[in-house]
Copies of this chain bind each other. A is one copy, B any other.
Amino acid sequence: MTPNRVTIEDVAAEAGVSVATVSRALRGLPNVAPGTRERVLATAAAMSYEADPNASRLAAGRSRTVAMAVPVLNGWYFAQVVAGVEAVLSESGYDLLLFGVTSDASRTRFLSGPLRRRSDGLILVDIRIPALEIESLATQKAQLVTVGFQAEQFPSVRIDDLSVARSAVAHLVGLGHTSIAIMAGLPDDPLRFTVPELRRQGYLEVLEEVGVAPREEFDVAGNFSIDGGYEAMAKLLDLDDPPTAVFAMSDEMAMGALVAARERGVDVPGDLSVIGVDDHDAAAVVGLTTVAQAVSHHGSVAARLLLDRFEDPDAAPVHHCNATKLVVRSTTGPPRDT
């Protein structure tokens, strides 16, 4: 993998200076005579020398690498966030180490493993961290940015999940619905964090405000996937008294719900209104009403927060809250019997 490598010593010899000088010159450090610098740069270029990243990381303790963990690599949402992060990082000359974290064990491995050693900073997307662990990370002065939830000690970027849910459910209520189901993640998912909880809370709040008692069987688990949404919708439609509207916590679940409805000949939005969250690329295609968020923007903001942190590790952590917006399309409408 590494054939005829040219080392810093080769360059030093060729340029007639010491390796120390080469190192300084190449990295633009002060205390190098302009003439010397120029000569070093020239010979380095001529020999097409590039510092071995492993050696320099080992010696300097920095790697220009950021490690990122997401729960589901092939989920639409996470792919967008990853893309946003990567775009900013590569622009700044940082490399991205990507991890799928699907269990407590893998999360621990991510937070404590070689990563801490081989990356300058961490980005965590929608991964629950126990308060104790957060505290320990803070004590260790870890460079960490979270997406999707907020810990006081670290910069974060998220949306207002409470108001997301409220506006979605309020939209349904406004259309005249009172029989409204909610589709969340798996009940025992150890990784999903505040997102489902806050969204459920918003749902319950609005129901209470309009005097509708929540029904337990209307709270179903869709695993944030199309398939999960399909299954969950099937369960809802099997009820003796199915809901007239569904608030899915993600567009992917909402799309699964649409399939289930269509298969059973349930008319949308006549018999059933469906609203999601995200504004998935395909939402416009299926005419899905949703609460939109600028997902890949989350990623770029997170990356920037982290880079800022590198510059000034002691600044107070910044907490970003991105805007969301109700986008009404054709999967929501008044209930049939209004």
Q: Which residue of B lies closest to A258 (CB)?
A: B285
* Distance between Cα atoms of A256 and B280 in the complex (Å): 13
- B106 and A100 contacting across the interface, CB-CB below 8 Å: no
**Which A272-327 residues have a C-beta within 8 angstroms of B?**
280-282, 284-287, 296
Considering the complex, which residues of chain A in the window 230-263 have a beta carbon less than 8 Å from any beta carbon of chain B? 252, 255-256, 258-259, 262
**Counting CB contacts under 8 A, is A57 at the interface?**
yes
Q: Which residues on the B side are within 8 Å of A119 (C-beta)?
A: 1
A119-146 interface with B by 8 A CB criterion: 119-121, 140-143
A226 CB within 8 Å of chain B:
yes
> Of A29-37, A47-55, A178-186, which stretch is located at the interface?
A47-55
- CB-CB under 8 A from A266, the residues of chain B are none
Q: Is A338 an interface residue (CB 8 A)?
A: no
Query: Does chain B have a CB within 8 A of A336?
Result: no
Q: Counting CB contacts under 8 A, is A90 at the interface? A: yes
A331 to chain B, nearest CB (A): 11
- For A285, give the chain B residue with the smallest CB separation: B255
From B54, B58, B281, B287, contact of A118 by CB (8 A): B54
Q: Which one of A75-83, A158-166, A187-195, A203-211 is at the B interface? A: A75-83
Q: Are B116 and A1 in contact (CB under 8 A)?
A: yes
Taking the nearest CB of chain B, how far is it from the CB of A35, in angstroms?
Answer: 27
- CB proximity of A338 to chain B, nearest CB, Å: 26
CA separation between A252 and B143, bound complex, in Å?
Answer: 37
> Which of A10-18, A19-27, A91-99, A212-220 contacts the other chain?
A91-99
**Given A1-B143, A63-B54, A256-B285, do A98 and B86 touch, yes or no (CB 8 Å)?**
yes
User: A42-82 vs B: 1/0 string, CB under 8 Å?
Assistant: 00000010111111011001110100000011101011101
A255 contacts across to B, CB distance below 8 A: 281-282, 285
A74 CA to B115 CA, complexed, in Å? 24
Docked Cα-Cα span, A192 to B74, in Å, equals: 22
**Chain B residues within 8 Å of A74, by CB:** 79-80, 82-83, 296
**Closest chain B residue to A282, Cβ basis:** B282
Instruction: Chain B residues near A52: list those with CB within 8 A.
Output: 58, 114, 117-118
Which B residues are in CB contact (< 8 Å) with A140?
1, 3-4
The 16 sampled A-B contact pairs (Cβ below 8 Å) are A1-B61, A1-B116, A2-B116, A51-B114, A72-B83, A73-B82, A73-B83, A74-B79, A76-B79, A76-B281, A95-B114, A95-B115, A96-B97, A96-B98, A282-B285, A286-B286
Binding site for B on A (CB under 8 A): 1-5, 48, 50-55, 57-58, 61-63, 65, 72-74, 76, 78-80, 82-83, 86-87, 90, 95-100, 106, 112-121, 140-143, 226, 252, 255-256, 258-259, 262, 280-282, 284-287, 296
17 further A-B contacts with Cβ under 8 Å, apart from A74-B82, A96-B97, are A1-B121, A1-B141, A2-B116, A3-B142, A48-B112, A50-B117, A52-B114, A53-B54, A55-B58, A65-B97, A73-B82, A76-B79, A82-B98, A90-B106, A95-B114, A97-B98, A285-B286
